[in-house]
Amino acid sequence: MRSPLDLDQATMQRLGHRVADIVAAHLATIRDEPVIASVPRAQLNAVFPAEAPRAPTEFESLLSVLQESVFPYHAREPHPGFLAYVPSCPTFPALLGDWLATGYNFFAGVWPVAAGPNQLEMVVLEWFRAWMGMPKGSGGLLTSGGSAANLTAVVAARHAAVDRGADITRLTLYTSAQAHSSVVRAAWIAGISRTNVRTVAMDDSLRMTAGELEDAINADRSAGFEPFLVVASAGTTNTGSVDHLHPIADLCENERLWLHVDAAYAGFAALTAEGKAMLSGIERADSLTLDPHKWLFVPFECGCLMARDPELLASAFRIMPEYLRDVEPAEEEVNFADRGEQLTRYSRALKVWLSVGYFGTDAIAAAIQDAMERARLMQSLVEASPDFEILSPAQFGIVCFRARPPDADEGFLDALNEGINRRIVSEGRFLISSTRLRGAFSLRICTLGFRTTHDDIRELFATIKGALAAEAGSPPLVGRIAFRQ
Ligand SMILES: Cc1ncc(COP(=O)(O)O)c(C=O)c1O
C-alpha cells in the first residue's frame, strides 16, 4: 500500500507549479514591493496556533497563510532598493539549482553515495581556484556561508599548530578591527583563548599592515606566546578595504604562519580585471573564504573554503567511524565530510553550476563590474554635493559617507545622520545601513544586487538629500545646521 506521504506525480506537479509561479511572480514584481516590512510578534502569534495540526490542511490554505502572514514581513534582499549590509541577489537558475538539489536530496557528505553531485562540487571548486589564481591542487568545500568557512580555516590552522606540538593555551591569532566578526567568533569556538586574539592596528585606509603585524608577532613571541594564524581581509564588510596582502604574505612565509584571507564577498570581483588587480595577493593565502551567496548571485546558503593544501583540512576533520566503512573514497575522490564539520550536507554545487552555466562568466563579470560602477556613481554624487562627505571611497560595491552641511556643528553630525538613516529605511523604497568609521556614524551602501540600476542610485541620493532637508528642519537639529536648499 502506498504511504499517504508519497504523493502521486500529478499532485507533485500541481503543487510544484504553484510554488514556482509564486516565486516567479514575486521576483518579477519585486520592484513594486516595499524593500522591507515587519510586524510585531504579538500580531503573528495570533495567526499561528501553538500546536502542530493533527489533521491534513489543504495546500492552498497553507500557501494563503504564508502569503498573508509570512512572505510580506521580511527584507527583500533581491530588491533593487536593497543596499544594506551585503545583499544576496540570486539568479532564478540558481534558485532552481537549489530546488533540484533538495528535490533529489543528494547526500553530498561522502563520495560513493553521490558521485555525480560530488563531481559537480569538484568542478565548481576548480573554477573558484582558477578564478582566485590559487595553485593547482588547492581544494576545499562548499559551506553554509562565510562564517562556517572562516571557522573551518581557524580549526584547521589550530589543528596544524597543535599537531606540531604547540600549546593550545599559548596560541595567538592576528586580525584587524575591520575583520568580520565571524573571525573572532571562529577563534572562540576553536578554543583560542579570548585574550589571545590580537587586533592589529591599521593604516589610514583601514588596511592591516605588515609592519604593525610584525611588531605584534615579535612582542608575543618574546612573551612566550605561539603565533599561529593571521586572518587578513580582502574586502572588509565595513568599507571593502583590502589588507596589504603581499607584505603580509611575505611575513607569514618568513614566520611560518598560516595565512587565511577572508574574501567572502569581494573574492568574486576577481572575475573582472579591475577586481583582480585589487585582490592581488589572495592567491598566496593558505586558505581563502568565499561566499557565493553574496557576489556570485546564488541563494543562501553557500560559502566556500579553499585551502592551498586540502590535506590539512582532512587532517583536522577526517574521522572514520565503523558505520561509514562502506563509503571510503577511492584515489582522486573526496569525502567532503572529511574537510569540514558537516557529515550530512546537501549539494550546494548545483545552484552555482546551473547559474554560472546558464549565464556564462562574461555576464556574471559584467554584473560585478556594473556593481562597482554603481558604487562609484554614488561616490561622485556625494562628492558633488557640498552637504555630504565621503568617509570611505567606493571599494568593490561599498561606499561610506555622511551628511555634513557647511558650518554643521560636529557634535550633531551623528544624530543628523542617524536620523537620515531612519528616515530612508522607514520610507520603504530603499534599505541602506550604517556603521561607525574612525568613531563617526556613517551611512553605508552596498551595491551588489544586479537589479539595482544607475537611476536607482540617483534616486537614492535624491532621497537621502530629501531626508537631510527634513532632518535639518526638525528639532533638535534646527538652527544647528546651515543647510542649503
Ligand atoms: C568579509 C565577510 N566575511 C565573512 C562574512 C560572514 O559570512 P556569512 O554571513 O555568509 O556567514 C561576511 C558577511 O557579510 C563578510 O562580509
Percent helix, strand, coil in the chain (nearest 5)? 50, 15, 35
Domain assignment of residue 385, yes or no: yes
Distance 12 CA to ligand 1 centre (A): 36
Q: How far apart are CA 150 and CA 305, in angstroms?
A: 7
CA distances 355 to 90, 103, 349, 457, Å, are 9, 17, 10, 26
Q: Domain containing 436 — which CATH number?
A: 3.90.1150.170
In a domain, 82, yes or no: no
Identity of residue 145: G
- The pLDDT, as a whole number, for residue 476 is 54
The domain of 191 spans 97-359
DSSP H helices in 133-256: 146-163, 181-189, 210-222, 245-255
151 Cα to the center of ligand 1, angstroms: 11
Predicted TM-score (pTM) of the model is 0.96
Atom of ligand 1 nearest to the CA of 263: 1
Q: Per the structure block, which three cell numbers stand in for 116?
A: 555525480
Task: Indicate if 353 and 368 belong to the same structural domain.
Answer: no
Q: Mark whether 296 and 250 lie in a shared domain.
A: yes
Q: Of 242, 265, 304, 348, which is best to mutate to test ligand 1, by the most ligand atoms within 8 angstroms of its C-beta?
A: 265
Number of domains in the chain: 3
Per-residue pLDDT at 436: 97
- Same structural domain, 134 and 23: no
Ligand 1 atom nearest to CA at 301: 10
Residue 485's pLDDT is: 40
Instruction: Residue 340: give its domain's CATH number.
Output: 3.40.640.10
- The Cα 235–Cα 264 span in angstroms is 8
How many residues belong to the chain? Answer: 485
In the prediction, which pLDDT does 357 show? 98
Both 261 and 316 in a single domain? yes
143 C-alpha to center of ligand 1: Å?
Answer: 12
Whether 292 and 268 have beta carbons less than 8 Å apart is answered as: yes
Indicate whether 45 belongs to any domain.
yes
Last residue of a domain, one of 359, 383, 413: 359
At residue 118's C-alpha, the angle toward residues 116 and 123, to 5°, is 95
Q: How far is the CA of 58 from the centre of ligand 1 (A)?
A: 39
Q: Is residue 485 a part of any domain in this protein?
A: no
pLDDT tens, residue by residue, 269-326: 999 999 999 999 999 999 999 999 999 999 999 999 999 999 999 999 999 899 888 8
Residue 41: inside a domain, yes or no?
Answer: yes
Please give, one letter per residue, the 3-state secondary structure of 291-344: CHHHHCCCCCCCEEEEECCHHHHHHHHCCCCHHHHHHCCCCCCCCHHHHCCCCC
What does the pLDDT look like over 95-151, one tens digit per residue? 999 999 999 999 999 999 999 999 999 999 999 999 999 999 999 999 999 999 999
How far, in Å, is the centroid of ligand 1 from the Cα of 190?
Answer: 18
Ligand 1 pocket test target in 88, 147, 300 with most atoms within 8 Å of CB: 147
Site to substitute for ligand 1 among 178, 180, 288, 295, most atoms within 8 A of C-beta: 180
Q: Across the strands, what pairs with 176?
A: 200
Judge whether 430 lies within some domain: yes
Cα of 144 vs centre of ligand 1, distance in Å, is 11
For residues 311 and 341, membership in a common domain is answered with yes
Write down the pLDDT at residue 16.
Answer: 98
**398 and 320 within one domain:** no
| DSSP designation for 130 | H
Please tell me whether residues 140 and 282 are part of one structural domain.
Answer: yes
Ligand 1 geometric centre to CA of 147 (Å): 6
User: Which atom of ligand 1 is closest in space to residue 233's alpha carbon?
Assistant: 1
Given 316, 339, 359, the domain boundary residue is: 359
Query: Is residue 484 situated within a structural domain?
Result: no
For residue 149, the ligand 1 atom closest to its alpha carbon is 11
- Percent of the chain past pLDDT 70, that is, above it, reads 98
Domain end among 307, 337, 359: 359
Please indicate, yes or no, whether residues 326 and 393 belong to a single structural domain of this protein.
Answer: no
292 and 310 fall within a common domain = yes
Query: By alpha-carbon position, which residue is closest to atom 8 of ligand 1?
Result: 146
Burial 451-473 (b: 16+ CB within 10 A, else e): bbeeebbeebbebbbebbbebbe
Closest atom of ligand 1 to CA, residue 300: 10
Tell me how far apart the alpha carbons of residues 301 and 283 are, in angstroms, rounded to a whole number. Answer: 24
- In order of 117, 265, 350, the CA distances from 120 in angstroms are 5, 22, 7
Ligand 1 centroid to residue 372 C-alpha, Å? 19
Q: Identify the segments of the chain with pLDDT beneath 50.
A: 483-485
- What pLDDT sits at residue 328? 87
Question: Which cell numbers hold the place of 188?
Answer: 572562540
Distance CA 99, CA 102 (A): 5
Ligand 1 midpoint to CA 384 (Å):
32
Report the nearest-CA residue for atom 7 of ligand 1: 146
Is residue 155 a part of any domain in this protein? yes
- What is the distance in A from the centroid of ligand 1 to the CA of 362? 25
pLDDT of residue 484: 45
Looking at the fold, whether 201 and 116 belong to one and the same domain comes out as yes
The residues, any chain, with a CB within 8 Å of residue 440's CB and separated by 6 or more, are: 391, 402, 413, 414
Same domain, 259 and 378: no
Are 202 and 180 in the same domain? yes
Query: Which residue, judged by its Cα, is nearest atom 16 of ligand 1?
Result: 237
CATH number of domain containing 70: 1.20.1340.10
Task: Give the chain's largest Cα–Cα span.
Answer: 81
Ligand 1 site residues, Cβ closer than 6 angstroms: 86, 145-147, 150, 180, 182, 237, 262, 264-265, 291, 303
